[in-house]
Amino acid sequence: MKKHAYSHIDLMEERYKKENTGKVYGVLLSALQGRLAKARWEDFDENDWADLQEMAGKEGVAGALYWHWKQFASNLKLPPMTAGFLGAHYFRNRERYLQAEITICENIGPAILDTQKIIILLKGVVLASALYPNSGMRPLVDIDCLAAKEDISCIQETLHSIGYTEGEEHSNLEWGGHKEHHIALYSNDPAKLKIELHYSLSGVASEMFSIDTGWFLKNIQPASLRCQQESLWVFNPSAQLLHLCIHLLLDNGEGASDLIHFFDIHLLINKWGNQIHWPGLVNAARKMNLDYALWAAVKGSLERFGTSMPSDLEDIPNGRHIYPVKRYLESRKKQYPRTPIERYLRRLSGLPARKRIAGFFRFLFPKSNYIRSQYRVKPDWLWFLGYFLRLLNGFRQAADITLRKLNRKKSE
């Protein structure tokens, strides 16, 4: 295989070599490829098991690791702490998917149907059921959906009518190279997940890319959930793959939870690759200046999971037009913050001082419906304790950032 300068796996392995957890990352790759029983578990010590828990959580694959363990290596004795950690992620993923499906089928779908509009379901809620053997394998945080820009106001009002309200003010201000591209809505009912209503598919403010939302809205098919409703749609395989590439490389910049996204791409190509008209997809991606991002994402999946590289993608990195995009993606990979508080602070850095202070205050003390939805404190009347949990989490992340900076200085 020809080696290009932009190699995901080399940079990823280097990142974990610095943290002395390279073999743990290798185990994650083996597990996701169904080779969990063949991993060298006898070499694992207490620190390795702790690293496995942390890495599986950060990379978004804890639930998938638990499923593979139960399916293919149940005779392997995991430490009780590790088994409990992985199992908690798996069952939480299943619970959230069930909550999302019930909310979509019983509330959102019928309400949107009455308006004669449609929404396109995105990301986790689609992938968990369509690509994975079990919904507990794929993390799900909220319900993402896309609508035509001219339909957003109508759909927003419809969601208000079934108990959803906006969590924060949204604007078109650019935050450190990022602009708002969705509206977050929350319900006071803790059983209902947050909705992110997208009017664009990326928050990247760079003029380098011309993402054509209209093309995505044309490449859709009926959603395959336990309910069949005319208001619910999903992307076809071509649009689904290109959207995953955008989400991974442009929005996330290959952040701390990138392994699950590469695994999504691997599963999609394995399952639906023969349904994709590759020349047409490459042509559409090139018009949006996304052809290199498409190649880079598939290449990253190939390096991790052995995903087949379609022949129509092989010549993309040889094009002269890709170099500005290549430099841009490499810079985002290196600069992307690893924790939510780092990402939010970077966005705030692009705002005037007064708005920066107001934004930071909103981050620490969001509206009550967000706290209820995010932390789900029991019993319900103690929901305000979620603010204390949020502050503690903020202090923990701040300490983690400080320690990493100190370790970086020592290594230099």
CB 124 within 8 A of CB 139: yes
Given this structure, which CATH class describes domain 100-336?
alpha beta
**Segment among 20-29, 176-185, 316-325 with least mean pLDDT:** 176-185
Q: In this predicted structure, what is the pLDDT of residue 1?
A: 35
390 pLDDT exceeds 90? Answer: no
Q: Which amino acid is at 95?
A: E
pLDDT per position as a tens digit, 327-380: 887 776 655 445 556 656 666 655 677 777 877 777 778 878 777 767 778 888
202 pLDDT exceeds 60? Answer: yes
Q: Kindly indicate the confidence band of residue 40, based on its pLDDT and cuts at 50, 70 and 90.
A: confident
Total-model pTM: 0.80
Q: In this predicted structure, what is the pLDDT of residue 177?
A: 46
39 pLDDT exceeds 90? Answer: no
- The predicted model gives 245-261 an average pLDDT of 76
Q: Return the domain boundaries, the chain.
A: 100-336, 337-412
CB 299 within 8 A of CB 335: no
Q: Kindly indicate the confidence band of residue 407, based on its pLDDT and cuts at 50, 70 and 90.
A: low
3 pLDDT exceeds 70? Answer: no
Q: Strand 195-198 and strand 143-146: pairing?
A: parallel
Q: In this predicted structure, what is the pLDDT of residue 334?
A: 56
Q: In this predicted structure, what is the pLDDT of residue 349?
A: 59
Q: What is the 8-class DSSP label of residue 140?
A: -
